[in-house]
């Protein structure tokens, strides 16, 4: 995994592997399934037409587990950015998003995604006789653990492809750990943590750079200049970004120690009652280099 892999712009990448890229088990006729690493229903309908995807073989158990993750995560990542801020006048795209939100069930609320807004009443006592009450509404949410697991599986399949041996028909797995930093949605891509991560790893040479499905799926893996460590970033449905590292722990800890973390604010809302929050920070297009590379060595 020393050089940047060239990806076809308009067709799928298909490998005929004999082991599962997620768990490593040998594939047999009774557990061999076709797996789209970027689920065809994970991104808007039709957005993968004429664009690349990675298609592998996977065992039935892993394929099923990934499909369950993709279902409501797809609906929520698509719906969340459009909830208060419609991006596109294409009515067919918006209708597809609404349809998915009506069909998929949130694993948190057990309701349809479209009915799973997060609502909070915040009461702040100003004096002993006066207070303010705020009604807060947020788009549907996903547990971070499930986001991280889907990201891990997608990256495992990409890594498997990058290390694939055509003769042996098998790929490899990274040595070391899988490390995830807090995710961010579109309105917060400019927060201090994501921005400092982006600025540090921008100097690392990409080993994988993928943009497909009309920009609804973006991915990048960069190699540390001298250590067995890679940074990675995923962008799902033009809304959620996940970032982190894979590989040796020591260089990861060294880099993480230099990152800037967002300032957390604290408000007392009563006796033994408080709320912690922070402001969201957007990023200007000209400052956003998370998935950029100019081709220079």
259 lies in some domain = yes
* pTM assigned to the model: 0.89
pLDDT score recorded for residue 258: 95
67 lies in some domain = no
pLDDT score recorded for residue 288: 95
CA 82, chain centre distance (Å):
17
240 lies in some domain = yes
81 lies in some domain = no
Pairing of strands 13-14, 54-59: parallel
239 lies in some domain = yes
Residue 230 structural domain: 172-287
Whether the per-residue pLDDT at 265 is higher than 90: the answer is: no
96 lies in some domain = no
37 lies in some domain = no
pLDDT score recorded for residue 141: 86
185 lies in some domain = yes
> What is the rounded average pLDDT of the residues 177-194?
94
Whether the per-residue pLDDT at 2 is higher than 60: the answer is: no
Strands of the sheet containing 177-185, edge to edge, are 177-185, 240-247, 229-236, 217-223, 205-212
Q: Which two tokens stand for residue 129?
A: 């006789």
- CB of 216 within 8 A of CB of 237? yes
> What is the rounded average pLDDT of the residues 141-158?
96
> What is the rounded average pLDDT of the residues 57-62?
97
Domain count, the chain: 1
- For the ranges 86-100, 166-180, 261-275, the maximum mean pLDDT occurs at 166-180
If you write DSSP's letter for every residue of 228-261 in order, what string do you get?
SEEEEEEEETTTEEEEEEEE-HHHHHHHHTT---
């Amino acid at each position: 995994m020393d050089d940047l892999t060239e990806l076809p712009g308009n067709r799928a990448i298909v490998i005929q592997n004999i082991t599962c890229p997620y768990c490593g088990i040998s594939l047999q006729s009774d557990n061999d399934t076709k797996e789209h690493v970027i689920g065809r229903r994970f991104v808007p309908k039709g957005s993968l037409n004429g664009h690349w995807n990675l298609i592998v073989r996977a065992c039935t158990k892993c394929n099923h587990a990934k499909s369950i993750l993709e279902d409501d995560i797809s609906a929520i990542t698509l719906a969340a950015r459009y909830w208060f801020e419609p991006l596109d006048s294409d009515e067919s795209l918006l209708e597809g998003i609404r349809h998915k939100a009506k069909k998929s069930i949130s694993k948190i609320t057990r309701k349809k995604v479209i009915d799973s807004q997060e609502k909070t009443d915040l009461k702040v006592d100003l004096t002993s006789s006066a207070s303010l009450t705020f009604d807060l509404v947020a788009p549907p949410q996903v547990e971070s653990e499930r986001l991280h697991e889907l990201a891990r599986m997608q990256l495992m399949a990409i890594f498997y492809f990058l290390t694939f041996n055509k003769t042996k028909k098998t790929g490899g797995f990274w040595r070391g750990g899988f490390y995830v930093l807090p995710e961010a949605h579109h309105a917060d891509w400019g927060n201090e943590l994501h921005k400092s991560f982006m600025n540090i790893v921008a100097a690392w040479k990409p080993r994988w750079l993928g943009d497909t499905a009309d920009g609804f799926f973006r991915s990048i893996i960069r190699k540390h200049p001298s250590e067995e460590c890679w940074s990675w970033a995923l962008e799902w449905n033009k809304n959620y970004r996940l970032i982190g590292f894979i590989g040796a722990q020591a260089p990861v800890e060294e880099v993480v120690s230099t990152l800037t973390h967002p300032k957390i604010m604290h408000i007392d809302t009563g006796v033994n009652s408080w709320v912690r929050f922070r402001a969201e920070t957007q990023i200007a297009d000209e400052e956003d280099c998370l998935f950029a590379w100019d081709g220079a060595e």
